[in-house]
Amino acid sequence: MRLEINGWSSKITFSATHIIPGHYKCGRLHGHDYAINATIFGTIGADGVIMDFISVKEFLRKIAAELDHKVLIPLRDEGVKKDGDSIRYSLRGKEYLFPLEDCALLDVAVASAEELADFVLGRVKEKVHFPDNVSRVEIGVDEGEGQGAWTGIDLKA
């Protein structure tokens, strides 16, 4: 059985800007409205539920709030350098300078939906306690409605 959390209808959303190096159109600074979605797989426990998914929704909202109205900075990109209270991002002959307070510094190589999904899953795995009857967790990050990337992890592996 599974529980599904739709980020759009549950208001687990954020707006942010990013750059996808190597893409013609997306290699420029641009933004999206994003949603974070989740699917939790497991068996029904003695209390009649897989788990209380309200705690998962609250945690996902916290991540969305951290990313909201920020520039998503991939710290593993070699063009990213901290410069005092700023982030300098050098990319294909362009140089961007962003105030640090306007940035979300992410331990990813590219601020793509795929890597954002992995980033969120890592945070969820680290901070959310899943009961023993939960076997798998999947996280999706949408860049606009109807398009996104999903990743997951088996908790019983």
Lowest mean pLDDT among 23-27, 28-32, 35-39, 42-46: 23-27
pLDDT for residue 28: 85
Active site residue 26: yes
Active site residue 18: no
pLDDT for residue 66: 98
Q: Which residues are within 8 A (CB) of 36 and not within 5 positions of it... i.e. 6 or more apart?
A: 7, 12, 13, 14, 60, 63, 64, 120, 139, 140, 141, 142
Q: What is the mean pLDDT of the chain?
A: 95
pLDDT for residue 157: 65
Q: What global pTM score does this model have?
A: 0.94
CATH topology of domain 2-70+109-150: Tetrahydropterin Synthase; Chain A (3.30.479)
Q: Which of 26, 32, 114, 138 is catalytic?
A: 26
Banded pLDDT at 8 (limits 50, 70, 90): very high
- Phi/psi of residue 44, nearest 5 degrees: -70, 130
Active site residue 143: yes
Q: How far, in Å, CA of 10 to CA of 147, rounded?
A: 17
Is residue 129 helix, strand or coil? Answer: coil
Is residue 76 helix, strand or coil? Answer: coil
